[in-house]
Structure 1
Amino acid sequence: MITNEFWLERWRSNGIDFHMEGVNPKLVNYWPSLPKGSRVLVPLCGKSNDLIWLAEQGYEVTGVELSSLAVIQFLGDNDFTFETHQEGDLKVHKVHDLPLRVVEGDYFQFTESGFDACYDRAAMVAMPASRRKEYVTHTLGLLSSSASILLISLRYDGDKQGPPFSVDETELSDLWGPGMQKIAVENLVQTTEEYKALGHHLFEESVWRLQH
Structure 2
Amino acid sequence: MITNDFWLERWQTGRIGFHQEGINPKLVDYWPILAKQSKVLVPLCGKTNDMIWLAEQGYQVTGVELSSLAIIEFIGDNDLTYETLQQGNLKIHTVNELPIRLIEGDYFDFNEQGFDACYDRAAMVAMPQNVREKYVQHTLQRLSQKAFVLLITLQYQGDKKGPPFSVAEKEVIQLWGTDIKKLASENLMETNPDYRDGSYTSFEESVWHIDQN
Which TM-score bucket, shorter chain as reference?
Answer: over 0.9
Superposed displacement of residue 84, structure 1: 0.6
Name the counterpart of 1:125.
Answer: 125
Q: Secondary structure at the match of 1:80?
A: coil
Work out whether 1:97 is the aligned partner of 2:89. no
Q: CA RMSD in A?
A: 0.7
Name the counterpart of 2:161.
Answer: 161
Letter aligned with residue 14 of structure 1: G
Name the counterpart of 1:29.
Answer: 29
In the aligned structure 2, how far is the partner of 1:91 from the partner of 1:192?
Answer: 38
Superposed displacement of residue 110, structure 1: 0.2
In the aligned structure 2, how far is the partner of 1:27 from the partner of 1:193?
Answer: 22
Superposed displacement of residue 97, structure 1: 2.2
The runs of at least 4 consecutive aligned structure 1 residues that moved more than 6 Å come to none
Determine if contact 2:159/2:199 at 8 Å carries over to the other structure. Answer: no
Structure 1 unaligned spans of 5+: none
In the aligned structure 2, how far is the partner of 1:194 from the partner of 1:85?
Answer: 41
Determine if contact 2:45/2:63 at 8 Å carries over to the other structure. Answer: yes
Determine if contact 2:160/2:200 at 8 Å carries over to the other structure. Answer: no
Superposed displacement of residue 158, structure 1: 1.2
Superposed displacement of residue 95, structure 1: 0.5
Letter aligned with residue 132 of structure 1: R
Specify whether residues 198 and 92 from structure 1 end up closer, same or farther in structure 2 by C-alpha distance, changes over 3 A only.
farther
Report percent identity of matched pairs: 64
Matches within 5 A, 1:1-212: 1-212=1-212
Superposed displacement of residue 199, structure 1: 3.1
In the aligned structure 1, how far is the partner of 2:199 from the partner of 2:17?
Answer: 18
- Compare 91-100 and 109-118 and name the one that shifted more: 91-100
TM-score by length of 2: 0.98
- Compare 164-173 and 152-161 and name the one that shifted more: 152-161
Q: Secondary structure at the match of 2:46?
A: coil
Aligned residues: 212
